[in-house]
């Protein structure tokens, strides 16, 4: 009987305890959902970067860093064998040097050709002037012979001279006429088909023009060599860029988490060889619809580190609908409906004492 009374008392006490606990939870809001609405926590995470050789491959000949080592932006991480690239660069430099020699030689020939053409033109015009004078002299001699012939022909009619004198005058006239024709032919040869305007400064001799065209063709040949040199210089720049890419450098400050390839291995282009922990820190928190509506992307949000109780203000990078597992379900004794959760990502500036893996707390007063 005593045992039954004792059991009854224990049962009544247990029921009263449950009743009081439920009453306190209902009015003080200490259930899991209520606590989640008051305080949000997130783990500080560092973005990881997979570092690879950009568009080049080869044998890894040097590992310049070790795992867990802190590196600065631009610091050498790994080096690939550059023997083939060095040989290609040396070959291109030799070809460029050969072209430069040909360009200098061709340019010299052009200058010599221009000088020779100018000299030939001056000499040719001088010869034309001289030949014009020779034609004029021959024409004057012919005119004298013609007048002498006419004079002697009149004297012969009068019987004042002998027949032989007349023959001599006739022969002299023919010789003078032939000399004029010969001098005119020589002048025409010097002109080379050009019309004689009588003004040497305005005269364009075909032979001189042909020489100039030959020089212009030499200029074109030199220009072709220059363009070929530019093409090889572009190839040289490409090889130099390729050689520079054989040295892998840290894209940003960070910590080497893992080395994925070892010295002596053949590395494929764009294949990750180092896993780098960056200095870009963030943490995620999950908010209700009402709380998320009070924030905006690009805004500022202050959190507190659990380890050091330091208040750190970060920038909200994005606010997005969280996966279904983060939604608040009907777990409260009040029968509250399901609530959609939103994921908020906050980026922090790296600073002393802040380490990946630390917990950040954001209190509900940030969403008031």
In a shared domain, residues 94 and 212: yes
Give the residue, 340 or 303, on which the prediction is more confident: 303
Give the residue, 132 or 330, on which the prediction is more confident: 132
Pick from 270, 264, 249, 232: nearest CA to 88: 232
Please report whether residue 22 resides in a domain: no
pLDDT(154) > 50: yes
Q: What integer pLDDT is reported at residue 5 of this predicted model?
A: 55
Mean confidence (pLDDT) of the chain: 84
Confidence of residue 11 (pLDDT cuts 50, 70, 90): low
DSSP code string of 165-191? HHHHHHHHHHHHHHHHHHHHHHHHHHH
In a shared domain, residues 114 and 50: no
Q: What integer pLDDT is reported at residue 71 of this predicted model?
A: 96
Give the end of a domain, one of 195, 216, 240.
240
In a shared domain, residues 96 and 232: yes
Confidence of residue 9 (pLDDT cuts 50, 70, 90): low
The span from the CA of 2 to the CA of 8, in Å, is 10
In a shared domain, residues 61 and 93: no
Task: Quickly count: other Cβ atoms within 10 Å of residue 147's Cβ.
Answer: 12
Kindly give the pairing relationship between strand 247-249 and strand 76-80: antiparallel
pLDDT(198) > 70: no
Q: What integer pLDDT is reported at residue 234 of this predicted model?
A: 97
Please give the structure tokens belonging to residue 177: 């006429």
**What's the CATH number where 131 sits?**
1.10.287
Confidence of residue 39 (pLDDT cuts 50, 70, 90): low
Q: What integer pLDDT is reported at residue 333 of this predicted model?
A: 46
Q: What integer pLDDT is reported at residue 35 of this predicted model?
A: 47
- Domain enclosing residue 41, as ranges: 36-79+253-367
Please report whether residue 26 resides in a domain: no
Inter-CA distances, 63 with 259, 273, 353, Å: 9, 10, 30
pLDDT in tens, 207-252: 778 888 888 899 999 999 999 999 999 999 999 999 999 999 999 9
- The predicted model gives 198-212 an average pLDDT of 75
Please report whether residue 17 resides in a domain: no
pLDDT in tens, 253-270: 999 999 999 999 999 999
Q: What integer pLDDT is reported at residue 335 of this predicted model?
A: 43
Give the end of a domain, one of 217, 240, 263.
240
Give the end of a domain, one of 211, 240, 269.
240
Residue 266, SS3 per DSSP: strand
Q: What integer pLDDT is reported at residue 119 of this predicted model?
A: 85
Please report whether residue 204 resides in a domain: yes
């Amino acid at each position: 009987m005593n045992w039954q009374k004792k059991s009854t008392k224990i049962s009544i006490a247990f029921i009263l305890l449950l009743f009081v606990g439920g009453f306190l939870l209902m009015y003080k809001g200490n259930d899991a959902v209520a606590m989640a609405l008051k305080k949000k926590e997130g783990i500080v995470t560092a973005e990881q970067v997979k570092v690879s050789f950009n568009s080049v491959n080869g044998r890894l000949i040097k590992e310049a860093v070790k795992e867990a080592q802190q590196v600065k932006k631009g610091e050498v991480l790994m080096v690939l064998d550059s023997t083939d690239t060095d040989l290609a660069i040396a070959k291109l430099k030799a070809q460029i040097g050969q072209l430069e020699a040909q360009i200098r030689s061709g340019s010299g020939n052009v200058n010599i050709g221009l000088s020779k053409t100018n000299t030939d033109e001056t000499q040719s015009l001088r010869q034309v002037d001289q030949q014009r004078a020779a034609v004029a002299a021959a024409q004057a001699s012919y005119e004298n012979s013609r007048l002498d012939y006419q004079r002697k022909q009149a004297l012969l009619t009068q019987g004042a001279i002998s027949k032989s004198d007349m023959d001599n005058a006739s022969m002299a006239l023919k010789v003078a006429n032939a000399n004029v024709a010969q001098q005119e032919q020589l002048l025409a040869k010097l002109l080379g088909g050009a019309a004689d305007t009588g003004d040497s400064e305005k005269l364009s001799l075909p032979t001189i023009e042909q020489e100039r065209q030959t020089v212009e063709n030499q200029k074109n040949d030199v220009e072709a060599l220059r363009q070929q040199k530019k093409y090889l210089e572009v190839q040289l720049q490409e090889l130099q860029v390729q050689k520079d890419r054989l040295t892998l450098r840290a894209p940003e400050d960070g910590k080497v988490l893992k080395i994925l390839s070892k010295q002596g291995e053949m590395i494929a282009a764009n294949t990750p060889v180092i896993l780098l922990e960056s200095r870009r820190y963030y943490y995620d928190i999950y908010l209700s619809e009402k709380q998320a509506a009070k924030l905006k992307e690009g805004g500022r949000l202050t959190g507190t580190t659990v380890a050091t109780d330091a208040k750190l203000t970060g920038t909200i990078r994005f606010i997005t609908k969280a996966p279904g597992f983060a939604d608040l379900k009907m777990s409260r004794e009040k029968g509250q409906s399901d609530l959609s959760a939103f994921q908020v990502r906050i980026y922090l500036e790296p600073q002393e004492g802040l380490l990946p893996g630390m917990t950040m707390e954001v209190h509900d007063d940030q969403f008031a």
